[in-house]
Structure 1
Amino acid sequence: MRKDTRFKYLIIAILVGLIMILAACNDEGTDNEGEATEGDKSLRILSNVVGGKTPEENELFVEEIERLTDIKVELVKPPADYDQKLLTAMSSGEKFDLVLLTKNLMDILVDQGVLTEISDQIAESDILSDTTVIPEKEWDLIEYEDGNYYGVFNKFEGGTMPIVRQDWMEKLNLQQPETLEDFYNVFKAFKEQDPDGNGKDDTYGLSTAGLYDIQGFLSAEGVKYKYVYNEEGERTIPIASEAAVPVLEWFAKLYEEGLLDPNFATNETSQMRELFLTDRVGMVTYWDAWVGLFNNIRLEDDPNTEFKAKGIPGAVGPEGDIILRRGDPSLWAIPVNAESPGVAKEFLEFWHSEKGNVLSTLGIEGHDYTLTDGKYELTEIGKEHSMDHGVVVPNNTNWENPIGSLPGVEEAQEIILEHATLETSTEDWPEAEKIVQNYAFKAMMGEIPAKEAVNKMHEELMDAGLIDY
C-alpha cells in the first residue's frame, strides 16, 4: 500500500473515533426524550409568591433550591400583574417548565390546551400519589373530566373568614356572634365602648377590602358570592337575588351608624390589615393564615402585647349551615412546551418532601433560620418573614413545623375545613364582578334600596349574558 493511502485511512479512523466519542458524551448528557439528566438538569419557573421577599433574597432562594436538588433554576418573578403575565406567556408560547397559578387560571389554560395532563406522572410518583402527603379529598378539588389532572398543589390554600380582636371581645365581655344581629351588637360595642382604652371615639366595628370577603355574612341567608350551577348546568350569581337583600340592608345599617369603616369600598387589603393591627377596627374578613400572621406581627413588635386575633365562623344560615370561602387552590402546572417535564416532576416531589416544606415555609438556611443539633431557630430576618416563602401551610398532612405554628392558625384552619367550599370562577367572572360590585356598594352605602340594587344587578347580568337565570 502506498504511503499516502495509509495516511488517508489513518485520518479517517481518527475522525470516526472522535465522532463516536462525541456521540457517547451526548448520550450521557440527555435521556431518550432529549431532556437533560443528572448533572445537567435545569428548570425555568414562573412564580409570584414563591421565592424571596426581595430580588436579592430571591437569588438566595434559587441558590438554596439548587443546593437541595442539584437542579439549575431560573426563577422568573414578575413584580406586578402576575396573572396577565402568565396568560400572555402561555398564549405567546414563551417556554417555562413550571408555572404557578390558581385553579381559576388553570381552568382557562386547560381549555386552551397549553398545560400538560399529568395523571400518569402523579400515579407513578411515590410521593405525589401518597394520600398521607396529599389527601384524596384535596385531589378531588382539582380533578377534571375523565379523572384528569393538570396541576400539583403548591400549598394548603385555606380560606377566608371573619377575624376578630379576641382581646377586645374578652375586655368587653362579648360572646362569639352567630347571627347578623349578634354581629351588629359586637360591632356596636367595638364602636361605642372604647375597646382600645384611649378615651377617643376612633374605632370601627368592621372593615373590609371592598367585597373581599363578605361571604361569612352572606352565609346568614345561605347566599354564595360567586357563580353556582343548577342541575341543568345553568349559571347564576346568588348575591344578585332577593335572598341577598337582608344582608345588604344589614350592611347599609352598619354604614349609616358608623360601625363599618367608611372607606371599606376603596380599601386595599394592606389598608384593612393596617387598621386591624393599629387598634382602629375590631373585625376584618381575611385569610385564616393571617390570624397567625397578625398575632406574630404584634408579638414581634411587643412580646407583652394583649393583642389577640382569632378566626371565627360566619353567620349561621337558615338551615343551620355556615358558608365560608375556600381559597382557589394554588398549583404548579407543566406547560405543554416545557423543555424539562421530567425535571419539573422531580422538583414537585422535592416540594412535597420535608426539605421542600422547610424551604417553602421557614425559608433559607443560614439566612431565615439556623439548624444546630437538629434544632431550628429563626433569625431576625426569618421572624420578619413569618415563615412564609410562598407557603404558610404545606399541602402535606405529614408536615409538622419544627418551629411551631403561629398563634391561632390551627384553630382557624379547622373552621375553614369544616365550613368552607370552593367558589366557582369562570372567564366571565371579572366582567360579572364589576356589575356585582357597582350595585352592592350602592346598596351597602344606602345610595339605593337593597331590593332595587339586586334587581338591577340581576337585570344587567342577564342582559350581558353573564348568567342564565
Structure 2
Amino acid sequence: MKSKFLRYLLMALFLVGILVVTGCSDDSDTAGSDSDSGSEETGEDSGESSEERMELRVFVPTFSTEPPTDDSPVLKKIEDYTNKDITMEWIPNSNLEDKFNITLSSGDLPHVMMVPNKSPSFISAVEDGAFWELGPHLENYPNLSQANDIVLKNSSINGDIYGIPRTRDLGRNGVIIRKDWLENLGLEEPKTIDDFYNMLKAFSEEDPDGNGKDDTYGVVVSKYEGPWDVMQTWFGVPNKWGEDENGELYPFFMDDNYLEALNFFKKLYDEGLVNEDFAVMDPAQWSDPVVSGEAGVQVNVLDEGHRIQEKIIDANPDNTDPITVIKSVEGPTGLHNLPTSGYSGMLAVSKTSVKSEEELKQVLDFLDKMNDEEAQILAENGIEGKHYEIVDGEYQSKIKDDPALKAEVDGFNQMLMYLPEAKSLSPSSSPLRQLENQLMVENEDIVVANPAESYISEVYSKKGQQLDNIIFDARIKYIVGQIDEAGLEEAVERWKSSGGTEYMEEINQLHKDAQK
C-alpha cells in the first residue's frame, strides 16, 4: 500500500511540476509576443541552438598585449556563425613554442591547437596518438577539400595530415627589377636565362642610372642561401630531392643540371655582376643596394618589390614607378620556380578533448566554416559599421587609430586557413602590388614540389645541420673559385660519409612506404 501511495504521490507532483513550468512558459510568451505559436517556435529554436552548440577551446598565438576578451562582439558573431561556444586561449607569439610544449606535457590539450611547425615535440605527440589524422575526412568539407595538394604534403608527417595548414602564397618567390633602369637602357623584361644574364651585364656596364659613373652592378645576394636555391631551379635542378626514372630519390646536388647552374653563378661572380661580399652580407641590409641604386636586381619574395619601391619614392618622389617584378625566367627544361612551404603553422585537433569521430566532425565543420567569406571578414576585419566601412565600394578600416576597437578584432585571423583563398577585405592596392599578387598565383603552376617534404628523417634530425653545411659551403667556394669540380666531388663524398648515405637510404625507404 505504501509503495502504491508513493507512486501516486510522485506522479501527482510530476504533473503539478509540468503545469507550473507550462504556466511560466505561457506567461513569458504572452509578455513577449501577441502570437503563442510564434513564441513557442522561438523558444524551441533557442533551446535547440543551446543544446547543439559544442564548447570549443582554441589555442592560437597573439601579437598583441591585449588580445580580444570573451566579451568581444566579433567573437560572439563568430560563435553564432559557426554555432560553437568558443574559448580563446591566447598565447604570446614570442613564447608560443615553449607554451605549446608545456601544454603538450600537461595532457590537457585544447580542441584546436595552432602548431607552429613540425617540431620534434609535435611529431612525438602525433606518434603517441595525441592528434587526429585528418586526411580521410577533408573531402567531406567544401573548403577544406580545396587545400592545395603541395601545401598539404608539405605540412604532412610522412604523408599523413595532422593539421589544416594556415595557407600562405606558395608561389611567393620571384625577381625584383629596377624598371627605371630597364627603360633607361631600352631593355625588355627578361624571358630566358640568357636574357637575365644580358640584363645583369647591361646593369653593370652601361650606366643604367645615367650618372656617368661606374657604380652599379647586376644582382645583389646576401649570405641567405635562398636566391641560389631559387635560381638553380631555373636550370631544372630539383627542390631538395629529385626522383629518377626508377622512382628513387636523390639529393638536388646530384642532379645533372646542378653543375650548369653553379657555372652560371660562378660566371656572374667572375664578371662582377653580383656583389663580391654576398657570402657575408647581412640579410637585413639585402634590399639596401637596390633602394640606393647600386644594384638593379634582387631574387627574393615578390612582395619585397613594393616595399623597395616605396623607399625609392620616399627618397625621390619624382621617380614614381621604379620597380617591376617577374616570376621566373625560362631555362633548358622550361619555366620553373622554387615554392615556399605554402603555410605558416597548422591547426591540429587533439584527441584528449575531441574524443569521438562525431565530435571531430563538429570541429572540422567549425574549421571549414572559418574559411567562408563571412567568417574570414569577421576574423580579419570585424563587423561592418563598427570596425570598418565600405565607402564608394572601397574598404576602410576604423580600428587603425582606435585601440579599443582594435582589441575587439586583433588576433582572430590566427584561426584562418584561407581555403581555398583569402576572402577578407583589404584596401585598394597599387598596380605593383596587384602584379605581385597576380604572379604569386601564376607561380603555382610552375613551382617545383619536393617529393620528400613530408618525410620525417631521424638521420636528418641528428645530422642535418652538418650535412647541409657541407653542400652549401661547397657551393659558395665553387662560385668564388676556391674549389673546382674535383672539390665539389670531394664535398659530395664527405656528405655521404658523414651520414648522407644513411639519409638517402632512410628517405627512399620512407618514400617506398608512402607509395603503398
So what's the TM-score if we normalise by structure 2? 0.65
After TM superposition, the structure 1 = structure 2 runs for residues 74-93 of structure 1, keeping only pairs within 5 Å, are: 74-79=89-94
Q: SS of 1:186's equivalent? A: helix
- Residue 348 (str. 1) matches residue 383 (str. 2): no
Which amino acid in 1 is paired with 2:167?
A: K
Q: Which residue number corresponds to residue 82 of structure 2?
A: none
Give the Cα–Cα distance (whole angstroms) in 1 for the partners of residues 130 and 291 of structure 2.
Answer: 42
Q: Which residue number corresponds to residue 270 of structure 1?
A: 284
Q: Which residue number corresponds to residue 325 of structure 1?
A: 338
CA deviation string 1:175-201 (max 9, x = no partner)? 233444432221222233443455554
After TM superposition, the structure 1 = structure 2 runs for residues 105-254 of structure 1, keeping only pairs within 5 Å, are: 108=123, 113-119=129-135, 121-129=137-145, 131=146, 134=147, 149-159=161-171, 160-197=173-210, 201-209=214-222, 210-230=224-244, 234-241=248-255, 243-254=257-268
Report if the CA contact (8 A) 1:162-1:286 is conserved: yes
- 1:379, distance to aligned residue in structure 2 (A): 6.6
Q: Which residue number corresponds to residue 435 of structure 1?
A: 470
Which amino acid in 1 is paired with 2:236?
A: G
CA deviation string 1:367-397 (max 9, x = no partner)? 9973146741257959xxxx99779994434
How many residue pairs are counted as aligned between the two chains? 420
Give the Cα–Cα distance (whole angstroms) in 2 for the partners of residues 64 and 436 of structure 1.
Answer: 53
- Which sits farther off after the overlay, 206-215 or 288-297? 288-297
Which amino acid in 2 is paired with 1:72?
A: T
Give the Cα–Cα distance (whole angstroms) in 2 for the partners of residues 206 and 401 of structure 1.
Answer: 35
Q: Which residue number corresponds to residue 448 of structure 1?
A: 483
Give the Cα–Cα distance (whole angstroms) in 1 for the partners of residues 144 and 258 of structure 2.
Answer: 41
- Residue 56 (str. 1) matches residue 72 (str. 2): no
Q: Which residue number corresponds to residue 418 of structure 1?
A: 445
- Residue 306 (str. 1) matches residue 324 (str. 2): no
Give the Cα–Cα distance (whole angstroms) in 1 for the partners of residues 387 and 209 of structure 2.
Answer: 35
Which amino acid in 2 is paired with 1:272?
A: W
Q: 349, 371, 379: which one pairs with 2:389?
A: 371
Report if the CA contact (8 A) 2:113-2:349 is conserved: yes
Q: Which residue number corresponds to residue 66 of structure 1?
A: 75
Measured at CA, do residues 139 and 205 of structure 1 come closer, stay the same or move farther in structure 2, by a change above 3 Å? same
Q: 392, 396, 406: which one pairs with 2:420?
A: 396
Which amino acid in 2 is paired with 1:458?
A: V
- 1:455, distance to aligned residue in structure 2 (A): 0.9
CA deviation string 1:320-375 (max 9, x = no partner)? x1221122131523154553675754552343122443467x65679997314674
Query: What is the root-mean-square deviation in Å for CA atoms of aligned residues?
Result: 4.7
Percent same amino acid at aligned positions?
20
Which amino acid in 1 is paired with 2:446?
A: H
CA deviation string 1:394-434 (max 9, x = no partner)? 44348375534533223312441221122344542544322
Which amino acid in 2 is paired with 1:66?
A: L
Measured at CA, do residues 276 and 184 of structure 1 come closer, stay the same or move farther in structure 2, by a change above 3 Å? same
- 1:225, distance to aligned residue in structure 2 (A): 4.5
Q: Which residue number corresponds to residue 16 of structure 1?
A: none
Give the Cα–Cα distance (whole angstroms) in 2 for the partners of residues 264 and 398 of structure 1.
Answer: 36
- 1:107, distance to aligned residue in structure 2 (A): 10
Give unpaired runs (5+ residues) of structure 2.
1-50, 80-85, 402-409, 506-516
Report if the CA contact (8 A) 1:60-1:364 is conserved: no
Which amino acid in 2 is paired with 1:189?
A: A
- Residue 465 (str. 1) matches residue 496 (str. 2): no
- 1:285, distance to aligned residue in structure 2 (A): 1.8
Report if the CA contact (8 A) 1:310-1:412 is conserved: no
Report if the CA contact (8 A) 2:174-2:299 is conserved: yes
- 1:259, distance to aligned residue in structure 2 (A): 2.0
Measured at CA, do residues 201 and 243 of structure 1 come closer, stay the same or move farther in structure 2, by a change above 3 Å? same
Give the Cα–Cα distance (whole angstroms) in 1 for the partners of residues 128 and 212 of structure 2.
Answer: 59
